Amino acid sequence: AVVSTQSTGEQAKKFEEKVCKATYVLSFDCSNETMTSRLLSRAQTSGRADDNIETIKKRLVTFESATSPVLEYYKAEGRLVSVSAEDAKEVIFANTCAGLKL
């Protein structure tokens, strides 16, 4: 797992100082089962050696531990837009546009 010596707030502030203030932070949410299935499907054509079940499980743990605190920070700030990524891509796109008020 990724361990940071900075607080989530510090990471967000440094990002916003160096890049720009985030109007929104967009999060596409899906279950680990869905993500695993999608990555294993990608493995059939990608040729990536790391698209295997054991590596995917490790990546998902790292991803969650690294991103959850950041998402919570932006949620508390009222700047997090969460979109379910469990549906068809057309539905995800429509929900993204609605979430961003486009």
pLDDT > 70: percent of the chain: 91
Radius of gyration of the chain (CA): 16
Least confident of 29-33, 40-44, 54-58: 40-44
- Distance from C-alpha of 77 to C-alpha of 70, rounded to nearest angstrom: 11
What is the pLDDT confidence band of residue 7, given thresholds at 50, 70 and 90? Answer: low
pLDDT > 90: percent of the chain: 51
